[in-house]
Amino acid sequence: MNRPVFILLGALAVAAAVFAGSYFTSQRVCVMTMSRSADDLSWLRDEFHLGAAEMARIRQLHEGYQPQCAKMCALIAAKNSEVQAILGHGTNLTAAGQRKLTELGELRAQCQAQMLQHFIAVSQTMPPEEGKRYLAEMMRVTLGSLEPTGQPMSGDTGHEQLH
């Protein structure tokens, strides 16, 4: 191979390796360092610029909401299993199956209402502008996917790894 071409290719390979090494190392170090000091509510504090007093109040609200949320999710998971047990037997929708589906929908609606209530309470703890932004963001990430193409229900309560 031509000597200058060989030198250029070698230099490009070395440059790519140096850049990639530096990039991935600093990225990993940054993620590790920042994750180590993070707790469940770190995102709220950083994203909405909250002070210690606001965080203390939000932490209290959060700790009060968690058991209620876990209880509702367990009820939904149980009802979901009942629906699957009834629908799994036949090829048509029976009256019992329809009733279970309605109950499941009601449970989900109750749980969502409770969740929204919590979001509103948290947003009221923040400065008005940040509270509005928080509420809008939480609506977007939680209710934004309630359209028919939303995530399928499963037996998973979503709390197994959290509690």
Cβ atoms 163, 66 nearer than 8 A: yes
Q: In the set 1, 3, 88, 128, which binds other proteins (CB under 8 A)?
A: 3
Q: What type of residue is 149?
A: T
Residues between 127 and 146 that touch other proteins (CB under 8 A): 138, 141-142, 145-146
Measured from the CB atom, is 30 or 85 closer to other proteins? 30
- Show the CA angle centred on residue 129, arms to residues 128 and 132, nearest 5°: 85
Binding other proteins by CB under 8 A: which of 8, 56, 85, 96? Answer: 8
Burial class (CB in 10 A: 0-12, 13-18, 19+), 87: middle
142 Cβ contact list (under 8 Å, min separation 6): 112, 115, 119
Q: Are 143 and 119 in contact (CB under 8 A)?
A: no
DSSP state, residue 1: -
Near other proteins in 79-118, by CB under 8 A: 80, 108, 111-112, 115, 118
Q: Smallest distance from the beta carbon of 8 to other proteins, in angstroms?
A: 6
Window 39-78: residues binding other proteins (CB under 8 A): 40-44, 46-47, 62, 65-66, 69, 73, 76-77
**If binding means CB under 8 A, how many residues of this protein chain bind other proteins?**
61
Q: Judged by CB under 8 A, does residue 11 bind other proteins?
A: yes
SS3 content of the chain, % helix, strand, coil (to 5): 75, 0, 25
Residues near other proteins (CB under 8 A): 2-5, 7-8, 11, 14-15, 18-31, 34-35, 38, 40-44, 46-47, 62, 65-66, 69, 73, 76-77, 80, 108, 111-112, 115, 118-119, 138, 141-142, 145-146, 150-151, 153-154, 156-159, 162
